[in-house]
Structure 1
Amino acid sequence: MVGIIYTHWSELGELTADKLTPAVEKLMHQTRSRPNIKYPQFNKTFYKFPSYLRRAAIAFSAGQVSSFVTRYREWQSGNRKRRDAKPPRLNADTGCYPSLYKGQCYKLHGYDQVEIKVFNGSDWLWTTVQITGLRERHLVASNKMMSPSLVLNERVCHLSVPFICKPEKRKPEANVTAVDLGINTTATIAVVTHSGTVIHREFVHPGRDIDRRDQRLKSVSMRAAKTMGKGGRLHKGFCSKTYEKCRRINHQIGHLVSKRIVEIAEQFNSEAIVFENLKGWKPRGGKKRSNLRQRFHGWLKSLIRNFTEMKWAELGGKTIEVVAAYTSKLAYDGSGTVRRDSRNYSLATFPSAKRFNADLNGAYNIGARGVFKLVRRCGLF
Structure 2
Amino acid sequence: MITRKPSQIIRTDKWALSPTTEQRLLLGETVKVYRRVCRYLVGIVFTHWPELGGLSSNEQIPAVERLMHSTAKRLTVKYPQINRVFHKFPSYYRRAAISFALGQVRSYMTRYRDWQSGLSRKRRDAKPPTLNADAGCYPALYKGQCYKLRGYDTVEIKVFTGSDWIWTTVEISGLRERHEVPNNKMLSPFLIFNRKACHLSVPFHCIPPKRKPDKNVVAVDLGINTTATVTVVTFDGTVIHREFIHPGRDIDRRDKRLKSVFMRASKTMGKGGKLHKGFCANTYRKCQNINTQICHIVSKRIVQIASEFNSEAIVFENLKGWKATGGRKRSNLRQRFHGWLKAKIRDYTEMKWAEAGGQVIDVVAAYTSKLAYDGSGVVKRNSKNYALAVFQNGRQYQADLNGSQNIAARGILKLTRRNDRENRSSKRTGRLSRSWACLCDLWTQDRLRLA
Q: TM-score, normalised by structure 1?
A: 0.87
Match of 2:369 among 325, 328, 341: 328
Q: CA deviation at 1:342?
A: 3.2
Deviates more, 1:268-277 or 1:51-60: 51-60
| Residues 20 and 377 of structure 1: CA distance in aligned 2, closer, same or farther (over 3 Å) | same
Deviates more, 1:330-339 or 1:50-59: 50-59
C-alpha distance in 2, partners of 1:194/1:243? 44
1:248 corresponds to which residue?
289
Q: Deviations over 1:80-132 (max 9, x none)?
A: 21356455443334343433211111111222222222223222222222222
1:15 corresponds to which residue?
52
Q: CA deviation at 1:337?
A: 0.6
C-alpha distance in 1, partners of 2:110/2:182? 45
Matched, 1:60 2:118: no
C-alpha distance in 1, partners of 2:268/2:76? 60
What is the letter of the counterpart of residue 53 of structure 1?
A: Y
1:185-224 equivalences under 5 Å are: 185-224=226-265
C-alpha distance in 2, partners of 1:326/1:119? 63
Q: Deviations over 1:295-338 (max 9, x none)?
A: 12221111111111121122222222211111011111111111
Match of 2:345 among 297, 304, 309: 304
| Residues 141 and 62 of structure 1: CA distance in aligned 2, closer, same or farther (over 3 Å) | closer
What is the letter of the counterpart of residue 135 of structure 1?
A: R
1:119 corresponds to which residue?
160
1:370 corresponds to which residue?
411
C-alpha distance in 1, partners of 2:372/2:261? 41
SS for the counterpart of 1:203 is: strand
C-alpha distance in 1, partners of 2:338/2:297? 19
Q: CA deviation at 1:70?
A: 5.2
Matched, 1:268 2:305: no
C-alpha distance in 1, partners of 2:171/2:418? 50
C-alpha distance in 2, partners of 1:329/1:153? 53
1:283 corresponds to which residue?
324
| Residues 110 and 59 of structure 1: CA distance in aligned 2, closer, same or farther (over 3 Å) | closer
Q: Cα RMSD between the aligned structures?
A: 3.0
| Residues 8 and 50 of structure 1: CA distance in aligned 2, closer, same or farther (over 3 Å) | closer
What is the letter of the counterpart of residue 178 of structure 2?
A: R
| Residues 153 and 366 of structure 1: CA distance in aligned 2, closer, same or farther (over 3 Å) | farther
C-alpha distance in 1, partners of 2:173/2:210? 32
Deviates more, 1:181-190 or 1:245-254: 245-254
1:161 corresponds to which residue?
202
C-alpha distance in 2, partners of 1:61/1:378? 54
2:172 corresponds to which residue?
131
C-alpha distance in 1, partners of 2:244/2:236? 23
SS for the counterpart of 1:348 is: strand
C-alpha distance in 2, partners of 1:289/1:164? 45
Q: Does the 8 Å contact 1:12/1:20 carry over to 2?
A: no
Matched, 1:51 2:121: no
| Residues 198 and 213 of structure 1: CA distance in aligned 2, closer, same or farther (over 3 Å) | same
Higher relative contact order (CA 8 A, sep 6+): 2
Q: Does the 8 Å contact 1:5/1:24 carry over to 2?
A: no
SS for the counterpart of 1:57 is: helix
Q: Does the 8 Å contact 1:13/1:66 carry over to 2?
A: no
Matched, 1:341 2:392: no
1:142 corresponds to which residue?
183
| Residues 75 and 366 of structure 1: CA distance in aligned 2, closer, same or farther (over 3 Å) | closer
Q: CA deviation at 1:207?
A: 1.3
Deviates more, 1:22-31 or 1:122-131: 22-31
Q: TM-score, normalised by structure 2?
A: 0.75
What is the letter of the counterpart of residue 232 of structure 2?
A: V
Q: Deviations over 1:336-366 (max 9, x none)?
A: 1111123332111111222211111111111
Q: How many residues align?
A: 379
Structure 2 unaligned residues grouped into runs of 5+:
1-37, 421-444
Q: Does the 8 Å contact 1:181/1:188 carry over to 2?
A: yes
Q: Does the 8 Å contact 1:224/1:234 carry over to 2?
A: no
What is the letter of the counterpart of residue 218 of structure 2?
A: T
- Of all paired residues, the percent bearing the same amino acid is 67
2:426 corresponds to which residue?
none
Q: CA deviation at 1:163?
A: 2.1
Q: CA deviation at 1:189?
A: 0.5
What is the letter of the counterpart of residue 54 of structure 1?
A: R
Q: Deviations over 1:26-66 (max 9, x none)?
A: 665465654786573x4455432222222222232233234
Matched, 1:104 2:141: no
| Residues 186 and 141 of structure 1: CA distance in aligned 2, closer, same or farther (over 3 Å) | same
1:79-90 equivalences under 5 Å are: 80-83=121-124, 85-90=126-131
| Residues 314 and 377 of structure 1: CA distance in aligned 2, closer, same or farther (over 3 Å) | farther
| Residues 120 and 298 of structure 1: CA distance in aligned 2, closer, same or farther (over 3 Å) | farther
